[in-house]
A and B are shown apart, each in its own frame.
Chain A
Amino acid sequence: MRDLMSLAARPEVISLAGGFPATDSFPQDVFDSINRNISDTQRALSLQYGPTEGFDFLKDDIAEIMAAEGTQVDPAHVLVTTGGQQAIDLVTKTFIDPGDIVLAEGPAYAGALTTFSSYQTDVRHVPMDGAGVVVEELEQMLRSLDREGRRAKLVYVVPNFSNPGGTTLSLERRVRLVDLAAEWDLLLVEDNPYGFLRFDGEALPTLLTLDGGRGNVLYLGSFSKIISPGIRTGWIVAPPAVYQKIVFGKQAADLCSSPMNQLFVHGFVSSGAWREYVERLIGIYRSRRDAMLAALAEEFPAGSTWNVPQGGFFVWATVPGVHTGDMLAKAIEENVAYVRGDAFYQDGQGTDSMRLNFSGSPEARLQEGVRRLGAVIADQLELYRALGL
């Protein structure tokens, strides 16, 4: 699969496969002034080792950002990580022994699945629908495991515009999930890289907030989508009981996240420039989402379904009867790429789905990409008919 994906990087291929933010929209003057300021006043600091948990001033920034999203945190519970990916890695490293069970969304973020797999985790996918993970099913799975004398160590969810499903976990389900966590003594890992990128609807309270300090939620945040992925800065908000354990893991991983990058983030956040930037990004992405949805309605064959994401980067489309893995080479030949649905499951599901990214291309390119993909799917369906499938 990796090799086909490298072909998708060529310029003539319209790639709907990546998860790339629109970093060319980052304002140059702001970039320059932040770097100049670091150079003038914090050069030695930027070049030196920093504290393992991250700079205190950055933790304060993070608390401020989360407050803007409606979640109150104590900066003392914040650990700065090298991207949201490291946050997932550290949590898994800290809590998972080989063979431990993690309940994840189905489909789930492929980057998390890779991490889980590298620690020999037994991942069980919980079905989802338009309102996110089906918490009743999750409860069934907990009961079923209990009958076998087993328990789930962690529940991993991306409640806002999940990657790849694009769905948002409803308020009712959020409340039920935190109650279940309390009842079953579960650790909920709430991964929220896209929370700010909401195009429609009202923001919902985080699981962390709803947990009300009971200590059952580990919150993972990231600056990748609201500032840039290149500054590799994310964070964990951990209950005091487990904070220190995670810090030990962090120290062993990389001593500390890059002070230079942390200073850049601090510069960007403390100037207040981030709010305007996020607004601008929301505008760009909303328009791109709309273009993709319109194109899908126009170009995809009858019987295909897809969600309407209220934010984030992705649309999850399903074409019943088509194996999207089998079709990928053909799509790339026709100069369009997507991510095959089975990449987001540990257990072979998702073969008739695909993840489509809209954040990474301007509207006209998205339209053309979806047109090409629609043609490939139509041709594939015809081939299936010819083969009696």
Chain B
Amino acid sequence: MSGKHVCVLHGGRSLERDISLRTGHRVVRALRAKDYRVTPIDVDESLVRQLVELRPEAAFIAMHGKGGEDGTVQELLEILRIPYTGSGVLSSIRAMDKVLSKHILEAEGIPTPPFYAFNDAAFREMGAKDTLDIIAEDLGLPVVVKPAAQGSALGINFAADARDLPRAMVSALSFDRKVLLEKFVAGRELAVSILGAGDEARTLPVVEACPRSGHAFYDFDSRYTAGETDFTVPAELEPAVTAEVERVALATYRALDCRGFGRVDIILDESGTPWVLELNTIPGLTETSTMPMAAEAAGISFEDLVAVVMESAAL
């Protein structure tokens, strides 16, 4: 879109700030290559003032985590009447909070690993620690403990034993006041990227992530250190399995009413059941991120991917 003035919002205060800066820089370069007039903004307390002065035609939100993916910045853009990329306020709120999204998925009959969730108030004020043994019994070990609203696999711990749970909770609670305890599902780690909205939404080729030895799972270092993970795209799956994985991913995307783009993280177990772990409404677009890889496999260059998302900006 020749000369259209857009701004790219990146950086911010979340723990994924550095990832966001990397995503943002790549997006800025791609948009400029596509002839957009781009103003990058490192989000801080001057954001609204800058947006009011700049009056961009649209905003590409390249922020990750709190503030960027949880409806906060989306709400501001709604108030300022600036069309923006990605999911709207409500979808962002729901997708950012793994607990909320899992409840929604369960209600829709979409497979997601069984779980329990707590606010730290339950521990501080209600003696919730005495439920941990029951939970371990109910879910079976190992249990995966995660902060409810944190990205990039930060704060995730495995408890192989019920006695490990309290420590794992402390670690997760450093990242969020709400924590999820989920049944561990062994299987293959798949990432399904999606473009569009509603009935028009379509999946890109499925990517499988195999962290190299030294990583128990697809953790922060495996995600963002080049060479730490082997990726296969398209993932080597039977056609029927691929179809099911894609169906489940799309169902998730639609259940959460997402828009623009997104990525669903799935564990495919031995029986061929795809278990949805979470949906990300602003997928990473770094050099080691899976969405650009999936787009590439579909014959969509990074610049084109970014342009498609930019053009989907809406209020």
Contacts and interface: CB of A to CB of B under 8 A. Distances in A.
A327 interface: yes
A383 B15 contact: no
Given A329-B155, A382-B124, A383-B120, A3 B170 contact: no
B174 A327 contact: yes
Q: For the complex, would chain B's binding face be called helix, strand, loop or mixed by DSSP majority? A: helix
B17 to A, nearest CB: 6
A388 B166 CA distance: 7
Nearest to A7: B17
Interface string A311-351: 00000000000010011111010000000000000000000
B175 interface: yes
A217 B123 CA distance: 55
Interface of A: 3-4, 6-7, 10, 323, 326-330, 332, 380, 382-384, 386-389
Contact of B175 (A323, A329, A382, A384): A329
Interface string B290-305: 0000000000000000
Given A3-B15, A6-B18, A323-B167, A386 B174 contact: no
Contacts of B18: 3, 6
A330 B129 contact: no
Interface string B1-30: 000000000000101111100000000000
19 contacts: A3-B16, A3-B19, A3-B220, A3-B224, A7-B13, A10-B13, A323-B170, A326-B167, A326-B170, A326-B174, A329-B154, A332-B15, A383-B123, A383-B170, A386-B123, A386-B128, A387-B169, A388-B130, A389-B167
Given A383-B170, A389-B166, A389-B167, 5 more contacts: A326-B171, A330-B173, A332-B15, A383-B120, A383-B173
Given A387-B166, A389-B166, A4 B15 contact: yes
Contacts of A7: 13, 15, 17
A329 B14 CA distance: 10
B224 to A, nearest CB: 8
Given A4-B15, A7-B15, A7-B17, A387 B129 contact: yes
Nearest to A11: B44
A323 B171 contact: yes
Contacts of B17: 3, 6-7
A387 B18 CA distance: 32
